Amino acid sequence: MNAKEILEAVREEQYKRAEQSGYKRLSEAEEASFRERRVARYSEAIALDPSFGDAYAERGSELYFLGRRAEATADMRKAFALGVSDPQLYAAMSMPFQGEEKREILRTGMGLIDRSSEETGWFYDHLYATVIRSYWYDGNFGENARLLEEWVPQLERTAHMYRMALQDLGMAYSALGKHAEAETAYRRALAATPAAEQQHVADMVVRTLMHRDQYGEALVVLEELADGLPADTRAIFTAALTVLQDPRSALARDASAAVLPAAEDWGRRPGPLGDSTSYYSFLLGLVYRGVGRNREAAEILTRFADEAAGNKREWGITMRWEIAKARELATTS
């Protein structure tokens, strides 16, 4: 078996295992075991053909997800220097890098793809989306927004990438403090999003109004977008906004008391970025204030603010208003 055949055999094994398991999600230990096995197979391919860039790229991807970042970076640089024939490997190859080094890898992959092809054109857009997003991670929100503004009109309005690009544009505008423009971008994304997937985008429309301290308007929009939000989400947001609007009112107290069990259930769940808090933890802090449990409010708002601010490349940017508001409320009675 030559080096190329080893890569093909590994891919075939992956497809078969996924089909046999019904695409069941593996535990971390199981996933790590399979990754180590694939690292060994790719090492065999490299030993047979040290000039085979695709094998270095595949091994580097597995090493990256095993947390062996220095080895992964070395493999990716080696792969790029040798040349990689499979365009879909360029996204993985770019993972350890930032800035121009990352963009050079991605653009090289784009150059291997016929964008007009129905079979591969979608991956051109995927790589270009990653190029644009790299400016966000550089902290260059202006360039991130400019490229998205240019790109969105080129995308098919029915395409998944169209609505994802509009959501990214909303994030870029928010980072630039252009909250009205962010609302418009999110509303355009919402209009292009299937009903079953609208919750996150509807949330973001409401949050752009919160970021302008327009709590009454946010409550009106919450009702407008009610069909795109689960009942619990809508009720928790309503209570939180009512507290922000008039924290000592009977309406704030009653709305908060009514949703407290649901708010605690959602607010105590671990966050998607691996922290112990989430956006719902911020909303729970507001609900606690609504029912007069200020000590518990201060505790969870402080923890949320610290964890969100610590995630400097994502939440530390997208939740700057929430972080500041959480710190403000945690220190006031």
Q: Contact, 226 vs 233, CB < 8 A?
A: no
CATH at 62: 1.25.40
| pLDDT score for 93 | 96
- State the sign of the Cα–Cα–Cα–Cα dihedral 100, 177, 187, 308: positive
Q: Which residues of 80-119 are buried (b: 16+ CB within 10 A; e: fewer)?
A: beeebeebebbbbbbbbbeeeebbebbebbbebbeeeeee
Instruction: Say if 147 falls within a structural domain.
Output: no
| pLDDT score for 274 | 66
Q: Contact, 121 vs 143, CB < 8 A?
A: no
Segments of the chain with pLDDT less than 70: 273-274
Q: What is the pLDDT of residues 70-80, one digit of tens each?
A: 999 999 999 99
Average pLDDT over the chain reads 93
Structural domain span for residue 38: 1-86
Instruction: Say if 38 falls within a structural domain.
Output: yes
Instruction: Say if 158 falls within a structural domain.
Output: no
Number of domains in the chain: 2
Instruction: Say if 200 falls within a structural domain.
Output: no
Instruction: Determine the length of the chain.
Output: 333
Q: Contact, 278 vs 270, CB < 8 A?
A: yes
Instruction: Say if 266 falls within a structural domain.
Output: yes
Instruction: Say if 125 falls within a structural domain.
Output: no
| pLDDT score for 315 | 83
Closest CA to 8 of 86, 68, 115, 77: 86
Of the residues 86, 102, 130, the one at which a domain ends: 86
| pLDDT score for 277 | 87
Of the residues 33, 64, 86, the one at which a domain ends: 86
Closest CA to 329 of 290, 276, 273: 290
Q: What is the pLDDT of residues 46-67, one digit of tens each?
A: 999 999 999 999 999 999 999 9
Of the residues 86, 112, 145, the one at which a domain ends: 86
Helix (H) or strand (E) holding 29: helix 28-48
Instruction: Say if 317 falls within a structural domain.
Output: yes
| pLDDT score for 276 | 83
Q: What is the pLDDT of residues 186-235, one digit of tens each?
A: 999 999 999 888 988 999 999 999 999 999 999 999 999 988 889 999 99
Q: Contact, 307 vs 271, CB < 8 A?
A: yes
| pLDDT score for 228 | 85
| pLDDT score for 8 | 95
Instruction: Say if 2 falls within a structural domain.
Output: yes
